[in-house]
Amino acid sequence: MWELIESPRVAPSVLSADFSRLGSQVAEVMAAGARVIHVDVMDGHFVPPITIGPLIAGAIADQVHEAGGAIDVHMMIAAPERQIAEFARAGADSITFHQEATPHAHRTLGAIRELGCLAGIAINPGTPAEAVAELRDLADVVLCMSVNPGWGGQSFIESSPAKIERLRPLVGEAKIEVDGGVDTATAGFVAAAGASLFVAGSAIFGAADPAQAYAEITSAAGAS
């Protein structure tokens, strides 16, 4: 997956897709050029909702891989270290968990890499950028939440670009992923601040034409 994120990319989040036709929604954005498909896993503990588990990630994994894409799993769950092997088996190419969800972030990042996936660490809006400083050599991706995790369709937190700027010198070679409220109006700001992986859910799957929305956000982010 690393080659897919070497240059800036928009990652459609299927959280806002129509689950009764998930395969065709994924096909639609991949035909428009999307290659990183973002899968939001929530457990009803770390965040209130319960969403997708390894069964659903696995159900789209072959389709995504056959089209040259990758599955980007974002775990918003307590004790994420207990679930990483299951997601790797289901076909995840990258696995990101929250720094706030475990005292064992360092060990968990190493375990994800050992499973052959890219390893990502996410931080909530209330968590300082410095919280990931000691993890820089173990993380391939640092995900900066630009909304509080739990729901699609929330408003972008305006201070997020400044936080991404503070993250940039702390993360070494890791890519900065931004998630929440990314659309044509906000993508340019987070790109200028140093993010290169842009998650967009409602702005893509809530649009009348998801393929066109993907193309517009990609262009606003200066992504490919």
Please, which residues bridge with residue 178 across strands? 144, 198
Nearest approach, Cβ of residue 23 and ligand DX5 (Å): 18
Q: Which residues contact 162 (CB under 8 A, 6 or more apart)?
A: 193
Cα separation, 29 vs 129, whole angstroms: 32
Please, which residues bridge with residue 9 across strands? 197
Alpha helices for 42-186 (secondary structure H): 54-66, 84-90, 105-114, 160-167
Nearest approach, Cβ of residue 134 and ligand DX5 (Å): 24
How many residues of this chain interact with ligand DX5, rule: CB under 6 A? 21
Residue 92 CA from chain centroid, whole number:
12
Which range in 12-20, 58-66, 89-97, 189-197 contacts ligand DX5 by CB under 6 A? Answer: 12-20
Question: To which residue do tokens 């990042």 refer?
Answer: 109
Nearest approach, Cβ of residue 79 and ligand DX5 (Å): 18
Cα separation, 132 vs 177, whole angstroms: 13
Task: Give the one residue of 4, 5, 16, 187 binding ligand DX5; rule: CB under 6 A.
Answer: 16
* 74 part of the interface to Zn ion, by CB under 5 A: yes
Nearest approach, Cβ of residue 192 and ligand DX5 (Å): 19
* 153 part of the interface to ligand DX5, by CB under 6 A: yes
Q: Is 93 a catalytic residue?
A: no
In the region spanning residues 61 to 80, those forming contacts with ligand DX5, defined by CB under 6 A, are 74
* 201 part of the interface to ligand DX5, by CB under 6 A: yes
In the region spanning residues 143 to 182, those forming contacts with Zn ion, defined by CB under 5 A, are 179
DSSP-based three-state secondary structure for 146: coil
Q: Which of 18, 40, 62, 72 is catalytic?
A: 40
Which range in 81-89, 160-168, 189-197, 198-206 contacts ligand DX5 by CB under 6 A? Answer: 198-206
**CA distances to 123, 135, 138, 170, 186 from 110, in Å:** 18, 10, 6, 19, 33
Identity of the residue, 33 or 206, whose beta carbon is nearer to ligand DX5 in the bound complex = 206
Task: Give the one residue of 1, 34, 40, 203 binding Zn ion; rule: CB under 5 A.
Answer: 40
Q: CA angle at residue 149 from 148 to 154, to 5 degrees?
A: 60
Q: Is 183 a catalytic residue?
A: no
Cα separation, 210 vs 34, whole angstroms: 11
* 43 part of the interface to Zn ion, by CB under 5 A: no
Binding residues vs ligand DX5 (CB under 6 A): 13, 15-16, 38, 40, 74, 147, 149-150, 152-154, 179-182, 199-203
Q: What residues are annotated to the active site?
A: 40, 179
